[in-house]
Every structure is written in structure tokens, then in C-alpha cells.
Structure 1
Amino acid sequence: MKINSIVNRYLFNEMIPPFVINMVFFTFLFLMAKILFITNMVVNHNIGLSRVIMMLFLFIPYFLVFVIPMSVMMAVLLTFLRFSSDNELTALKTGGISLYGLLPPVLLFCLIGCALTLTMSVYGMPWGKASIKRLTMEVATSNIELGLKERTFNDGFKDIMLYVNEVDMKKGELKDVFVEDKHSENIVSTVVAPRGILFFEKEKLLFRLRLFDGRINQVSMKNRSVNSIGFETYDINLDLNSAFSDIKGKGGAKDEKEMSFPELRDYLKKAENKNSKYYKALVELHQKISIPFACFVLGILAVSLGAQLKSARRSFGLGLGLIFFLFYYLLLSIGYVFKNSEWYPPFIGMWVPNLVIGGIGLFLLLRTANERPVFSVLAGYFRRR
């Protein structure tokens, strides 16, 4: 195996542009998946452009955990596809540089990708998740009155329909309030009050509507009876389930995605019962290491695919690369599905994708280094079309 430093630098530099382009492209695609959430926040809570941009920025660390390994794979694949189609690989082999001799810059590139992904996984993702939760609740507490539309039935609360005739922003009061409450089974309560106020209980992460000098009418669907009660003050809990169901945790406690690596280890050590949260935390712990390591296995696979498909169109190579990445993600998703099953431990669920894809990559690398094509039939088919 002959190693040439000039060739290594050239190969390494060639992988940077497609990596940056793929990073931007895939990050944009992932951000599009959050458009519905952002739209809901803008429409229902009237948040400003600066907070929208901040929310999108805070989502990025979570996306990068998946985007960086994908971009590493596509960058290596595109580089070797071009080398193959331009016969540069053949020229290098003629000059005495084998496929193994081209691995050092690829492995260095994968190592950098792994370090970036590990940083995002261990530090960026918990910070981003916690910051989104904090910003979302700040938006809700500061703009809850703005989010309530006057003379409109507001149904953004769990089991509550709220109608407000007028919102006094200066005093923070609601005037001429009508509430339909379906919290109790088989009982529908309608509450009417001339005024009320909204305030937020930070400890319980819920809003409380306090009404004054009103009347409650309760209709029992089971007994077919009606009760009417007057009150001076009456409190109703408002749960913003539709807006914050994926952000809010129970009782304000951190979920596993908000925990740092040390916090996850401490929680697992101190956990008394192996319940659902325990297995979720264990999955998250292994995921923080296994996904960054995927940069290596996907990179090795990309080298093999790019070198094997020298006679195929670039579109076929890219399509095959995406299929392998989707296969990796499918294996990872299976680990998530069975994260609470004792017969499919989280360690296996999070590391099997790397072992499977890594095994395929090494097999193809050996075949390619020994000039034994695997995709010749498919490549010939796509070349003729």
C-alpha cells in the first residue's frame, strides 16, 4: 500500500465542497418538517420574526446529529463517483496507489464528521431541546392573551372551548368570557363570567384562567339533570396540548433528550425501577455514541460504492447511497420501536445498524480492492438507459 501525501490532500479537499452543499440541503429539508409547528406558533401566539428565527436555529443541533453522517457519506460517495467516472482511480492504481492507500484522507474526514456529530449529540442537542422548551413557554406566558382571538371560539386547549368578547391588553383582563368545560366524564359545564384573568404556574407548566362573579351551568348527560351555581371566583386549568405537546414535559422534569451525557449516566445509576423512562434514557445514552460512529461505517460504504460504480450514471450511485442510508435509519428506527423490550436491549438496537452497514461496507471494500465488481449488472442497466 503506497501513501501519497499530495493525493491525500487533493482527495480530502475534493470532499469538502459536496459536504458543505449536502449539509445546507439536508438541513433545509429537516427544517421544512418543522414548518407546521412554527406556523402554529405564529398563527396562534403571534410570535415575532426574531423568535421564529431563534426557534429554527435551536432546532438545528438536533437535525445535525443525522445530517452530518448523511453529508459525510454523500460527500465521500460523490467524490469517488467522480474519480471513477473520470478514470482518476485507474490512473492512481497505475501509479501504484491502491484503494487502501486512499483510505487515510477518507478516515480523517470521517473522524472530523464523527467529532462534529458527537459534539452535537452530547452538548448541542440537549441544549437545543431545553432552549426550545424554555423559549416556547416564554412565548406562551408573554403572548397568551395575544393568542386568544376576540369573538372567536378558541379550541386550542384540552377539553376546553373558550370564547372571549374582548381582551384588554393593558390590564391583562378578559371581558365577557364563555367557557365550555368537558374535563369531567358525562358532565358538560358552561361557565359565564363578565371578566377574568390568565396567569401561568411555572412549577406545574400550565395556565390558569381565573373568572370573577360568574355562573356555572352543569349538564349531566348520564342523569339528564342540570345544576346552576353562582361564584365569586372560579379557576380553570388550561392545558395547551395542541401547541406544546412535543415540548412540555411532565411536571417540568427533563426528558431524556434534554439530558447531557453525565446526567443520563447519573439517572441510569440512580434509577430504582426499569420503567419506560429508564429504557428511553438508556437508548438515548447509546444513541449519543452510535450515531456519530456511523460516520465511519457510512464513509467506508461510500468508498466502496463510489469505486464499484465507475461505469454507472451518477444518479444511480446517489440513489443507491440514499437507499443504504434509509436502510441504516430503518434499522435505527427498529431499535426505537422496541426500546422498552427486554428481549431487544437498547445496546443492540442502537449498535446493530452500525454493525450491519459496517459489515456491508467492509465486504464491498474487499471486493472492490480485489477488482471484483458487485453492481456490474445494475450499473450496466443504468448505463444503457
Structure 2
Amino acid sequence: MHREIFKEHVSIFCLSMFSLVFLIVIGKVLQLRELFLGLDIGILDMLKLFGFLTPALLIMIIPIATMLSVFLTFLRMSSDRELVALKASGVSLYQLLPAPLLFGTICTLLTLWVSMFGIAWGMDNFRTSVMELAKTRAKVVLQPGVFNKSIPNLMVYSRSSSLATGELEHVLVQDTSKDTSKDTSKDTGGVTIVAPTGKIVSDTAQGEIRFVLYNGKIYRQNEDEISVLGFNQYVVRLSLSQLVKGVHLGKLRPSGMSYAQLQAIKKDPSIAESDSFVRKTDVEIPKRWAMPFACLVLGLFAMPLACAFEGMRQQMGVIMALGNFLVYYSLLSIGMKSGESGSGLPPEISLWIPNALFAVLAIAGLYFTAKERTINLTAMFTHFIFNRRKKLGGR
């Protein structure tokens, strides 16, 4: 019996995971369409990028899929009168707990691994892959012997360039992005940099492509004067949003960091860039623990909930389960917002309130369901609709 219940949990879980990931990926395709078009990404690179983004989605999808699996399994058993038959055979609801408990524990451990290691692994590889693709595109854009003006505020010329290593020779760069002239009515043309050698490098942490020039000179025109400055190394920074419209990687946010990185900022807030960054880190740490345990809590909560909706069709059951998860996530979001703003309860408390509330509801629901003292909400809803139609028809 436990084996069959567990197998049904797993089958529904796999179907739910596939459906939810597919729906979210479709939304991500629309959101990142400018990235794919701007970098001219092929289907294999696109699938690889979505694979790296998947761990960040799983921390939310796995608890939903866990709740749906337990809810739909016991909703079917309740509607097919299997629970009634088991009770008549002397099997109580408590004796059915091992399968959903084991399933919820496995899902909790899986989500915990994703939370602690998977998210950082996925985001690091996603950023690295995007930067490498952008770096490759920058190399392709810089055709040797051509004045390349495809990058905003930057004109780049190199007599020769290597697509494999990114090395440039006899480079001329006109940079108008740092025009410091106080008189805006006069166009000074920015600065012109000439160097015998250079190189294109990528900085994943900052989300930048950099043109590093060596042993050259900077020419700046100011009215009728031209100033010349020599340098050993000069760096022209180019953010990915300049190279690909609509894409903003920027600095790594707490939601994409590993748990070790979050703990390092927690211990030494001085390494963070701002107080707001520290508050977001303080919220992210308890969130990484609260979401995995939501699998176990919501899975147990789904058992008495399914019995209360006995007779409901599974299509409506999916909507009801998602509605309850929306309530859970709304409470979690309120705790996150209050923690990031620095007002209200500490994040260590506010982010665990949804788990505590649903755990209490789960225990109470299991107790009353085992005692057969629950109300059939489906029957009540159907009776209400029938009486309402009857009154309207009488008029």
C-alpha cells in the first residue's frame, strides 16, 4: 500500500515538475528574447542556458509539485472511496502517513541541496556562458581593418585580431562615453586611444566585456588644444547591456550567491556594497532554509485538504492546491519585503511564519480528518450553487 501511494506521488510529481518548468521556460524565452537575438544563440546554447537557470526555478517549483503530488493522490483516493475502504478495513489516516512523509523528506533534501549549492552553480555557469557568448560576439563584431561602430559610444579599429584568443594589434579606440567637457554645446569627440596591442577579456562578476590596451597613448581635444597622455595599460569597460540591448547582468545579487558567500557577508557586512545589499542577504539566508522545509509542511497539509474536497474533479483540485500555495507564498513575500525594508519582525522569524502556520493547520487537519470530523467542502459548495440556482429559477 505504501509503495503504491509513493509511486503515485512520484508519477504526479514528475508530471507537475515538467509542466511547471515548461510554462516558466516559455515565459523566460519571452523575457530573454533580446539576449538570444542579440547574441545570435543557437538552440543548443539556448538549452544549456536554460539548464543553468533551472536550479533557481526549482527552489520554488519543487514545493509546489510536492503539494500537488500529495493533494492529487489523496483527492483521487478520497473520490474513488479508497480511503473509505481502507478505514473499513481498520486502516487509519495516520497509518497512511509513511509514504507522504518519506516523499516529502526526499523533496526537502533535494530542495535543500538546490538551495545551498545548485542555485550558485547554475547562476555562475549562466553568467559565464553569457559572457563568453558576448565576448565571442564582440570578437566577431571587431572585423580587422574596419572602423567598427556597432557598439554605442565606441568606435574600434584594429589592423588584425584573433578570434581564438581575443588579441588585437594596432588598435585605435574612440570613446565618447566619458566626455568630461563642461560645455555641452561643444562636441569634443571624447578621447582617442591608440595602442600597438590589446586584448578582449570578460569579467563575469561585474558583467562586463573589457578592451585592455597596452603601452599606448590617449589623445583628448579641449577647444584648440590637444593633450596627450601615455599609459602602460588602459581599460575600456563595456557592460553587457551596451553590447546586447535589454540584457543586464551587473553585479551578482544575493539571490544568485552560494550559501557560503551569503554567510561571509553576514559575518562581515563591510564587504557588501550597501546597507540594502546586507538586508537582502539577511533575508536570503533564512529563505534558503524555509523553502526546502515547505515541501514537508505543504505535503502534510495537502492530505487533510484533499479529504475536505472529496469528490472534486482533479482539474479543480489543481487550482485549489495552487491557490493554497499562493496564500503560502504571499505570506512569505510579506516577510521578505518587511525584512528587506528593515521594518517589522526579523527575517529569521517572519520567513518561518508561513511554515509554522501551515504546519499547525496540517496537524489540526490530520487530527480532525482521522476523527472524521471534517466538513466536505465540495458538497457544501455544490449545495450552495444548487440552492442559489433554485432561488433564481423560482423568481
Would the TM-score normalized by the shorter structure come out above 0.5?
yes
Note the residue ranges of structure 1 that are not aligned, 5 or more in a row. 1-6, 219-225
Distance 1:93 1:235, change over 3 A: closer
Q: When the two structures are superposed, what TM-score results if normalisation uses the length of structure 1?
A: 0.78
After superposition, the Cα gap between the structure-2 partners of 1:75 and 1:165, relative to the gap in structure 1 and judged at 3 Å, is same
CA deviation vs aligned residue, 1:1-42 (integer Å, no higher than 9, x gap): xxxxxx222211221111110111111222223214643333
Sequence identity (%): 28
Any conservation in 2 of the 1:145–1:172 contact (CA below 8 Å)?
Answer: no
Counterpart of 2:249?
A: 247
Which piece of structure 1 moves more, 54-63 or 353-362? 353-362
Deviation digits for residues 46-82 of structure 1 (CA, Å, limit 9, x no counterpart): 3444332221111111111111111111111111111
Q: Which residue of 2 aligns with 1:199?
A: 200
- Aligned CA distance change for structure 1 residues 185 and 310 (closer, same or farther; 3 Å): farther
Check the 8 A contact 2:112/2:288 in 1, yes or no.
yes
**Preserved CA contact (<8 Å) 1:12 1:109:** yes
List per-residue Cα deviations over 1:115-163 (Å, max 9, x = no partner). Answer: 11111111111111122222222222232133579999746xxxx4456
Question: Measured at CA, do residues 194 and 124 of structure 1 come closer, stay the same or move farther in structure 2, by a change above 3 Å?
Answer: closer
User: Matches of 1:151 and 1:380 in 2, distance apart?
Assistant: 77
Counterpart Cα distance in 2 of 1:262 and 1:165: 43
1-structure distance, mates of 2:113, 2:82:
35
Q: For residue 285 of structure 1, what is the aligned residue in structure 2?
A: 285
Q: Quick check: 1:75 aligned with 2:73?
A: no
**Preserved contact between residue 69 and residue 298 of structure 1 (Cα < 8 Å):** yes
Evaluate the alpha carbon distance shift between residue 65 and residue 204 of structure 1 in structure 2; reply closer, same or farther with a 3 A threshold.
closer
Is residue 350 of structure 1 aligned with residue 340 of structure 2? no
> Partners of 1:338 and 1:268 in 2: how far apart?
18
> Does structure 2 retain, via aligned residues, the 8 Å contact 1:312–1:382?
no
Q: How far, CA to CA, are the matches of 2:159 and 2:43 in structure 1?
A: 23
* Residue 112 in structure 1 maps to residue 106 in structure 2: yes
Q: In the aligned structure 1, how far is the partner of 2:360 from the partner of 2:159?
A: 63
Q: CA deviation at 1:175?
A: 9.6
Equivalent residue, structure 2, for 1:31: 25
Once residues 303 and 204 of structure 1 are traced to their aligned partners in structure 2, the CA distance between those partners, rounded to angstroms, is 45
- Paired letter, 1:25: S
Secondary structure at 2:201 match in 1: strand
Which 5+ residue runs of structure 2 have no aligned equivalent?
390-395
2 CA distance for matches of 1:167 and 1:34?
A: 40
Count of residue pairs the alignment pairs up: 364
CA gap of 1:301–1:185, structure 2 versus 1, over 3 A, is farther
Contact 1:312/1:379 (<8 A) preserved: no
Residues 1:54 and 2:48 are matched in the alignment = yes
**Cα drift, residue 95 of structure 1:** 1.1
1:306 is paired with a residue whose SS is helix
AA of the residue aligned to 2:269 = A
| 2:316 counterpart residue number | 316
* Distance in structure 2 (CA, Å) of the matches to 1:141 and 1:116: 35
Does the 8 Å contact 1:181/1:189 carry over to 2?
A: no
Q: Which residue of 198, 211, 223 corresponds with 1:208? A: 211
In the TM superposition, 1:151-230 aligns within 5 A as 154=150, 160-162=152-154, 180-181=176-177, 187=184, 190=189, 199-200=200-201, 202=203, 205=206, 206=208, 207-208=210-211, 229=226
Change (3 A) 1:336 1:208: farther
In the superposition, relative to structure 1, how do residues 324 and 72 fare at CA in structure 2: closer, same or farther (>3 Å)?
same
Give the direction of change, closer, same or farther, for the CA distance of 1:328–1:306 in structure 2 (3 Å limit). Answer: same
Query: Using the alignment, how far apart are the partners of 1:15 and 1:382 within structure 2?
Result: 32
- Structure 1 residue 247 displacement after superposition: 3.1
Alignment of 1:59-138 (within 5 A): 59-138=53-132
Asked whether the 8 Å contact 1:213–1:230 carries over to 2, the reply is no
Per the alignment, residue 139 of structure 1 pairs with 133
